């Protein structure tokens, strides 16, 4: 049975003369709003800070006194704005850089000024024979920093950025890094992850989430070993520099200056996604890792354009997609909703109604996919979906029970009800996924946040709704 809070969002699909239905609701994948990019949290944290269930009583695991307000920083404490190194390009043989104002190219090791350049004139750094050249002159240094005056912007590959550029030759090519404050980074991220035309309080919630996600991931995983804090793609968060900045999104960053979400006095893994389909999910039901602040909550998804969607495949296409993913089962015979060993569920469903496993049974064997695996293999907007079939049949004469399908086989005109959630594919032409939402379903749902803001909720109320028992804390 679906959870009560999801029933009202699921379409009434009834088995009839042209199809049979298998209800499958599974975990979902992340996506940003503005240009339908993935948002934060496509991948689970490698080493979650709180992967046990007995840590909910710590000082960071309770809300503020009024449950909503922001914890202000003690101004007597001396703190500085966090700086980040963001990778813009790597493994390059040559790079052209400039700035909107006069700039200097400085030896990244000793601080010696290597070259002074006028505004809007490019300097070229090249690699030849394992050596670094600046405008044709061989250098001893492998690190070059470009710095310009206050209020000016540095330029790389036609895009402008706040802060400085650092060019590093790592032996395989040039790495281009933007050295930028967390606040300026957030300004370059926010409009790429949420539409600037959305409600101001939703933009402020997104600004806090983006700032928090960046701090949590700073220097972790492959970025640490590669010599930078964050990448600029959707693998981290989409960072587009000043070209993406808008008045509304910059205002949202400024009005939440220095604010992040914490649990147990540490930044949280602030996953977010576009559209929940009606309810967000528990972290362990998507990743297997328990995070106490990523709990399932109901969500107003009714205004989302992804609230309902459909993807259709022929049976042959389903077989080919499974085979291409290394999940070949031969000729597909049936599909079933099943529990998987790590889920702890005997029904095959999570508390919010999402499925843990989808089994594909064919002539060469059977495979079981998680909902997230099914989403990726079939390119679905989310993994909260129903599955039904379509087939072409001849309308039988009155009183007759059998008709001929398009493949020539004789089948029942009105399919029998499913037995134990198994959908047989005899005589089927198409497999249809009818789904809800866009994203992995963890943390803040962006369309839901915008709906809450439109209804009068402030950004801190929005954040406390989607992230359980967190503290919103000023850190500088």
Pair 189, 136: CB distance under 8 Å? no
Please state the rounded mean pLDDT for residues 280-296.
91
Does any domain span residue 40?
Answer: no
Residue 18 binned pLDDT confidence (cut-offs 50, 70, 90): very low
Please state the rounded mean pLDDT for residues 176-188.
98
Same domain, 275 and 204: yes
Domain count, the chain: 3
Q: Which two tokens stand for residue 340?
A: 């998987």
Same domain, 413 and 465: no
Q: Which two tokens stand for residue 57?
A: 């009583």
Last residue of a domain, one of 172, 204, 234: 172
Return all residues near 171 (Cβ < 8 A) that are at least 6 apart.
none
Same domain, 299 and 327: no
Q: Round the average pLDDT of the chain to a whole number and report it.
A: 81
Gap between the Cα atoms of 405 and 3, Å rounded: 36
Q: Is the pLDDT at 72 greater than 90, yes or no?
A: no
Residue 323 binned pLDDT confidence (cut-offs 50, 70, 90): very high
Q: Is the pLDDT at 24 greater than 90, yes or no?
A: no
Same domain, 151 and 168: yes
Share of the chain above pLDDT 90, in %: 60
Does any domain span residue 83?
Answer: no
Same domain, 198 and 138: no
Residue 376 binned pLDDT confidence (cut-offs 50, 70, 90): very high
Q: Which two tokens stand for residue 102?
A: 């006069």
pTM of the model: 0.81
Report which of residues 51 and 22 the model is more confident about: 22
Does any domain span residue 127?
Answer: yes
Lowest-confidence region among 2-6, 232-236, 239-243, 402-406: 2-6
Does any domain span residue 280?
Answer: yes
Does any domain span residue 53?
Answer: no
Same domain, 263 and 395: no
pLDDT in tens, 120-171: 999 999 999 999 999 999 999 999 999 999 999 999 999 999 999 999 999 9
Gap between the Cα atoms of 27 and 122, Å rounded: 48
Same domain, 422 and 459: no
Query: Is residue 213 helix, strand or coil?
Result: helix
Same domain, 152 and 199: no
Q: For the stretch 185-197, what's the b/e string if a residue is b when 16 or more beta carbons lie within 10 angstroms of its beta carbon?
A: bbbbbbbbbbbbe
Gap between the Cα atoms of 345 and 70, Å rounded: 38
DSSP letters spanning 430-459: EEEEEE--BSB--SEEHHHHHHHHHTT--H
pLDDT in tens, 424-439: 887 788 898 888 899 9
Pair 256, 205: CB distance under 8 Å? no
Does any domain span residue 225?
Answer: yes
Structural domain harbouring 295: 59-76+184-303+440-474
Q: Is the pLDDT at 348 greater than 90, yes or no?
A: no
Residue 411 C-alpha from the chain's centroid: 43
Pair 400, 409: CB distance under 8 Å? no
Same domain, 20 and 132: no
359 beta partners: 336, 368
pLDDT in tens, 328-340: 999 999 998 776 6
Q: Is the pLDDT at 223 greater than 70, yes or no?
A: no
Q: Which two tokens stand for residue 22?
A: 């298998």
Same domain, 353 and 380: yes
Residue 205 binned pLDDT confidence (cut-offs 50, 70, 90): very high
Gap between the Cα atoms of 452 and 143, Å rounded: 47
Lowest-confidence region among 12-26, 78-92, 249-263, 268-282: 12-26
Phi, psi torsion values for 26, nearest 5 degrees: -130, 175
Ranges of beta strands (E only) in 157-225 are 159-161, 164-169, 174-181
pLDDT at 83: 95
pLDDT at 370: 86
Pair 69, 459: CB distance under 8 Å? no
Q: Is 151 left (phi over 0), alpha (psi -120 to 50) or beta?
A: left
Same domain, 70 and 214: yes
410 beta partners: 404
pLDDT at 399: 53
Return all residues near 335 (Cβ < 8 A) that are at least 6 apart.
22, 358, 359, 360, 361, 387, 422, 423, 425, 431
Question: Which residue bears the tokens 């700073």?
Answer: 218
Does any domain span residue 222?
Answer: yes
Task: Write down how long the chain is.
Answer: 476
Burial degree of 112 (CB within 10 A; 0-12, 13-18, 19+): exposed
339 beta partners: none
Does any domain span residue 253?
Answer: yes
272-273 and 444-445: which strand pairing? parallel
Please state the rounded mean pLDDT for residues 361-367.
95
Same domain, 337 and 354: yes
Query: Is residue 106 helix, strand or coil?
Result: strand
């Amino acid at each position: 049975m679906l959870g009560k809070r999801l029933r009202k969002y699921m379409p009434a699909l009834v088995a009839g003369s042209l199809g049979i239905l298998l209800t499958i609701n599974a975990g979902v994948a992340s996506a940003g709003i503005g240009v339908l990019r993935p948002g934060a949290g496509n991948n689970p944290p490698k080493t979650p800070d709180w992967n046990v269930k007995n840590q909910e009583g710590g000082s960071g695991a309770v809300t503020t006194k009024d449950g909503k307000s922001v914890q202000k920083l003690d101004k007597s404490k001396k703190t500085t704005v966090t700086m980040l190194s963001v990778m813009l390009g790597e493994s390059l043989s040559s790079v052209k850089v400039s700035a909107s104002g006069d700039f200097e190219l400085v030896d990244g090791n000793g601080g010696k000024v290597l070259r002074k350049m006028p505004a809007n004139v490019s300097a070229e750094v090249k690699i030849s024979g394992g050596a670094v050249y600046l405008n044709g002159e061989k250098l001893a240094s492998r690190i070059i920093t470009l710095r310009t005056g206050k209020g000016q912007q540095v330029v790389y590959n036609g895009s402008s950025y706040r802060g400085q550029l650092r060019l590093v030759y790592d032996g395989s090519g040039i790495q281009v890094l933007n050295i930028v404050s967390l606040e300026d980074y957030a300004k370059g991220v926010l409009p790429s992850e949420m539409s600037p035309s959305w409600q101001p309080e939703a933009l402020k919630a997104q600004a806090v989430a983006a700032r928090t996600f960046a701090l949590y991931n700073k220097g972790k995983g492959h970025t640490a070993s590669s010599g930078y804090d964050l990448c600029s793609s959707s693998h981290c968060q989409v960072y587009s520099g000043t070209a993406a900045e808008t008045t509304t999104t910059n205002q949202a960053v400024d009005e939440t200056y220095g604010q992040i979400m914490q649990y147990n006095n540490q930044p949280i893994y602030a996953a977010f996604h576009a559209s929940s389909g009606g309810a967000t999910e528990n972290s362990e039901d998507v990743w297997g890792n328990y995070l106490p602040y990523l709990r399932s909550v109901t969500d107003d998804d009714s205004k989302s354009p992804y609230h309902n969607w459909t993807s259709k495949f022929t049976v042959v296409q389903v077989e080919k997609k499974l085979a291409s993913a290394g999940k070949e089962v031969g000729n597909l015979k049936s599909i079933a909703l099943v529990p998987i060993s790590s889920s702890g569920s005997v029904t095959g469903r999570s508390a919010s109604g999402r499925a843990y496993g989808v089994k594909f049974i064919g002539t060469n064997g059977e495979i079981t996919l998680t909902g997230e695996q099914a989403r990726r293999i079939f390119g679905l907007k989310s993994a909260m979906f129903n599955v039904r079939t379509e087939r072409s049949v001849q309308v039988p004469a009155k009183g007759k029970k059998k008709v001929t399908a398009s493949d020539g086989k004789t089948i029942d005109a009105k399919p029998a009800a499913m037995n134990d959630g198994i959908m047989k594919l005899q005589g089927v032409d198409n497999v249809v996924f009818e789904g809800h939402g866009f994203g992995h379903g963890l943390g803040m749902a962006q369309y839901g946040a915008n709906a809450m803001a439109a209804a009068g909720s402030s950004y801190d109320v929005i954040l406390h709704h989607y992230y359980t028992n967190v503290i919103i804390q000023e850190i500088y």
